[in-house]
A = this chain, B = another copy of it.
Amino acid sequence: MKCLSDIGEDALIQRLVRLVPRDPSPAAGPGDDCAVIDPGPGHDRLQLLKTDALVEHIHFLPDAPPRAVGWKAAARVVSDFAAMGGHPERFLITLALPPLTPVTWAEDLYRGIGDCLKRFGGVLAGGETTSVPAHSAAVISIAATGSVRRPHLTLRSTAQPGQALLVTGSLGGSRAAKHLTFHPRLKETAWLVSNFKPRAMMDLSDGLGRDLPRLAAASACGYELDWGVLPVTEGCTMEQALGDGEDYEILLAVADGEDEALVAAWGREFPDLALTRVGRLVAAGTGDRLQGGWEHFSNP
C-alpha cells in the first residue's frame, strides 16, 4: 500500500483536491501562496486566505525558544501575503499541545506571535486550543485573512518566457539560524508592487531548487540560472542555497529590461538588502533543471 512518503507533498495535494468541491472560478491557482477571493467588480481590494502549520521536530526543535517559534509561525503567513503583493489582516490561531506543556511555553509562543503582528500588522480574530496525546508533536496552525489592492495582486502563474528572475537577500543557511528570526519581506513587496509591476512573485519557503521550478511550471515556462551570481549566504554551499529551504526571500519576475532600473531603485530604497538578477524565464521544456529543496513526507 502506498504511503505519503512514497508520493510526496505536491503529488498528494494534486490527488486530494480533486475529491472536494472547488471554487469554479478561482482568482488564483490552487498552488499559489494564498487563495484569492474576488468580492466583485465594485471592490478595489481582493481578499487573501492562507493557512500554515508548524510541527515540532519538523519545523522547530523541542528546545527552540517558544517566543521565536511563535514569531516564525506568524511570519511565515505574513510572508505569503507579501508574496501576493498584499498584507495580513485577521489571524486564527490553533494550538494542539500535549497536556504537560508548561503554560509559560504557550504564553511565550503567543508573545512571539504578538511580536510579529505588532510589527507587520494583523490582529487576532479567534482560534482554538486542543490537546494532543502525551509524546505527540506540538502543532501550531495559523490561518489568516489578508487583502491586496486589485492592481497589486501578483500571482506565481503569470510570468512569461524572456522575463528576468530576481531574488531578495541571500539563500541558504536558514536551518542553522535564520529560520526562527527571519523578517518577512512585507515592506519590500509593498514597495515593489507600488512602484514596479512584478509579473510573478512567490516566497521561497522550500528552497530555490524546489520553488523556482514551481513558479516556472505554474507559468508554463522553463528557466535558466546565472549560477555565478546566485546570492549564496556566506559560509554556505550552492547546494545549501538551493536546498535548505526556509529562506523566506522573494522570488520575482519582471519584464526583460526592467530589471536594471528596478535593481537601481531598490538599492536606494533598501540599501541593506540585496536584490539580485539570478536568471531568466525561457520556453517550457528548455533551460535548466533544478533538484533539491525540502520535501515533506520524505525528508528525514
Is there a chain B Cβ closer than 8 Å to A15's Cβ?
Answer: yes
Chain A interface residues toward B at CB < 8 A:
1-7, 9, 12-13, 15-17, 19-24, 26, 30, 34-35, 37, 49-53, 55-59, 90-104, 106-107, 110-111, 113-114, 117-118, 122-133, 135-137, 139, 141, 143, 145, 296-299
B35–A126 contact, CB under 8 A? yes
Contact of A104 among B1, B102, B110 (CB under 8 A): B1
Given contacts A92-B50, A92-B143, contact A58 B97 (CB under 8 A): no
Give Cα A34 to B24, complex, Å: 26
Q: Is the interface of A mostly helix, strand, loop or mixed?
A: mixed
A90 touches B37 (CB 8 A): yes
**Known pairs A35-B126, A57-B136 / 19 extra A-B pairs, C-beta < 8 Å:** A1-B102, A1-B103, A4-B99, A4-B103, A4-B106, A15-B103, A16-B106, A30-B126, A35-B90, A37-B145, A49-B90, A49-B125, A51-B141, A55-B96, A55-B132, A57-B132, A129-B297, A131-B296, A145-B145
Contact A125:B35 (CB < 8 A) given known A3-B101, A136-B137: yes
In the bound complex, residues from chain B placing their C-beta under 8 Å from that of A58 are 130-133
Instruction: Give 6 closest A-B pairs by Cβ, nearest first.
Output: A143-B143, A20-B114, A5-B99, A35-B126, A35-B125, A51-B92
